[in-house]
Each structure stands twice: as C-alpha cells, then as structure tokens.
Structure 1
Amino acid sequence: MVEDARSRLGLRVLKKKWTTSAREIVFETPVFSLRRDRKKRLDSATSHDFYVIESVDWVNVIPLTPDDEIVFIELHRHGTDETSLEIPGGMIDPSDASPMAAGLRELTEETGYSSPELVELGVVHPNPALQGNRCFTYLAKDAYLAGPPRPDETEDIEVVCYPRAEVPRLLREGRISHALVIVCFFWLFQHEGLL
C-alpha cells in the first residue's frame, strides 16, 4: 500500500540493499570506535566509503515518584560545554542482564533512587546515518530514594526533582535540550495517552 502510494507520487521505492566489500576499525576510544565500510549498491559498479560510529546500546530512565515528580539530573556535557538537564541513563554494560537491568543500575548510580517496576516505553536508533546502536527508554514507577548516588568519577551530577506537570514547560523553554531525553518524554506522553 505504502509502496504503491510512493510509486504514484514518483518517489523511488528503496528495495535494494548495499553490499559490503570491506570493513575495518580506523579509530578506537573507550566509549566508541569509528568503522569504515566499503559499500556499493547492487545496481552500481562504484564503491564508496561510509563511516559508522560503533557504540554499545544505551538506556534512559524516567523516574516518576508517588508524588508525581520526575527525578532529573543536571550535569556538565563536554560536547556542548554546558550544563544539561536530563534523566538518568547511560551505556548498557556487558555485565547487565538486560537493558532494563542497565536502566535500574543507572538510576541507582546517578540518583540514589530505585523503583519496584520499570516499564519499557520505546526504543530508538539515536542517529542511523552514523550509528547502529539503540537507546531504550523505561518509566521507573513509584521511584523512591534508596540511598546516596554513586556516580562515576568522571560525572559531576546534581539530582533535582520537578513536578510532572512542569515537563511540557521545560521542553518548550528549551531547558531540556538533549534529543534523546526529548524522545523519552515523547514515549511517556504517548504511554499516558496524551499523543
């Protein structure tokens, strides 16, 4: 059905895969690797280099307390060299049993909060043009303070709570500007039937 509509509009329907003739890691860091793929379309003789950032999957958690507050974190982001208002999250470690387990670990480490129930809200590819990893989003229901935060030594985190009702304003005013965090709230609003 969608294919027919695209054809009627004169839009090209992508059916062909690209073939990979070579793949190599050209740069490595502790957080990501840069991979060069040599590829060509099946209907072309010309090959091209494409660069892919390899990274593990990520997880983000929206902690919602019984008082209808969302537990946020403020931290310095070196990419923008600014303070960012975000929700707990991070990389899924090989030792994590699942993305959900990673979410609970990140929640506890970064905020000191825990939750009796995490609900998966959605999964996105952060930037499919350059990355192949995924980002999972969970809602931590009835989040409660279980102990002190235990952030990594490279993290300087302040835990702040905002009423759930304030989130749309924080988004509108650009106070929340991290794209993956904005996506998390899209998933939450959809889960709540607001979208």
Structure 2
Amino acid sequence: MQDHENIDRLKWKTLDSTYLFKENWFTVRKDKCQRADGKIIDPYYVFEFPEWVTALAVTADNKVLMVRQYRHALGEVGLELPGGCVDDTDENYEDAIRRELLEETGYAFESAHYLGKISANPSTNSNLMHMFVATGGQKIKDQDLDDNEQIDVLTLSFEELNTLIEEKRIAQAMHISTILYGLRYLGKLTIHP
C-alpha cells in the first residue's frame, strides 16, 4: 500500500521551463524546479520525445516477427521488435502499433493485447513506450517504410527468440522488456539462467 503523504513529499514543482531545442523527433528543455522541502534544482534538463509503441508480434503460424536495422547512434545493425512513434493521426496506442506493424512488416494482426507502459529513462525522458502482444499475423502487403528506413523482417521460432535472449543478442532494453512481458502473457517464458 502506498503512503500518499510520503509520495507527495518527493514530487517537484516546476517553476520555469525554457526550450533549448525543439524539433519533431527531439526536444530539449531546461527546467527550474523546487522540491517539497524548498530546495531549488536549476537547471534540470528534460528530453521530450513522442510516445512510442512496440509489439511482440506473432504470426498465424506461430512465428515471431523481428526486424533488423542499422542504428546510427550505436553504429551497429541490431535485432529489434517492430514499432515506432505514435503519430498525430493515430486514434489510440493500438491503432499506432497496428499501423507500425503494417508499415514495417506488411503484416496485419487479428488481435493486439496491451501489456502496459515503460520508460526508457524516467530521469530525463518525458515519454513512454506502450507494449503490446499482437497475434494472428498475416502478410497482406509489402513494407511501406519512411525514406530513412531500411528494415529486414525476420520470422523466428519461439525457441530461436529464447536463444537470442539467452545469448544477449538484443541490445534494445525496452524491446527486451516487451518480449519478456509478452512471453509471460503467452505462457512461453522459458528462459534459463
């Protein structure tokens, strides 16, 4: 049980915000904050990103879809789950993940179950990743990628996915979280220490 009085004493009040950089995919602001005990925290930097969605996507023939793409910040080609940013045109997070799955993989899914939300870094990032399990996937079209995207789609067995996890070959931490929550939801969490 949470003690709301003790929780509230930990919250900060924002006294001032100044945007240092503002672009569609990355915004940085500098806040001046005050703790409940009166101490001023200045500056405190916050990175604003759009909300994100991702899914453990399972095809109708019980294969998991993964994507392989180059990630410039790390300078590596990595294995990830399909997903991306929530657009202004998406009515809700489920619409966003269905759109992202279709664009990146060409697959449409019978169901998309919401698993919850996580944060990449709640200390600095203002956004959340919304996690799903999508099941009953059927390929219905070719990929429809953004100009800067180059994505290979892989279909893996659950055994192959578990091997990737055990060998620590998936670097995207938020996607590992989604995979583990998704496997647990599907009753397929079989990772061994």
Shared fold, TM over 0.5: yes
Partner of 2:131: 137
1-side partners of 2:36 and 2:172: how far apart?
37
- 1:45 Cα offset (Å): 4.2
Contact 1:171–1:177 (Cα < 8 Å) also in 2 = no
1-side partners of 2:96 and 2:76: how far apart?
26
Deviations 1:167-186 (A, max 9, x none): 12101212211111101112
Q: 1:42-191 residue pairs with structure 2 within 5 A?
A: 42-191=36-185
Count of equivalent residues: 186
- 1:14 Cα offset (Å): 4.9
The runs of 5 or more residues in structure 1 that have no matched partner are 4-12
Give RMSD over aligned pairs. 1.7
Cα 1:48–1:64 change in 2 (3 A) is same
Task: Give the share of equivalent positions with the same residue, in percent.
Answer: 30
Shift >6 Å, 4+ stretches: none
**Aligned partner of residue 64 in structure 1, secondary structure:** strand
Contact 2:112–2:135 (Cα < 8 Å) also in 1 = yes
Normalized against structure 2, the TM-score is what? 0.90
Return the index of the structure with the highest Cα Rg: 1
Partner of 1:6: none
2-side partners of 1:45 and 1:182: how far apart?
37
2-side partners of 1:186 and 1:180: how far apart?
10
Contact 1:53–1:131 (Cα < 8 Å) also in 2 = yes
Deviations 1:79-100 (A, max 9, x none): 1011010111000001101110
**Aligned partner of residue 59 in structure 2, secondary structure:** coil
Which range moved further: 37-46 or 110-119? Answer: 37-46
The runs of 5 or more residues in structure 2 that have no matched partner are none
Normalized against structure 1, the TM-score is what? 0.89
Contact 1:54–1:132 (Cα < 8 Å) also in 2 = yes
Deviations 1:135-191 (A, max 9, x none): 111111111101101111100111111101221210121221111110111211221
**Aligned partner of residue 143 in structure 1, secondary structure:** strand
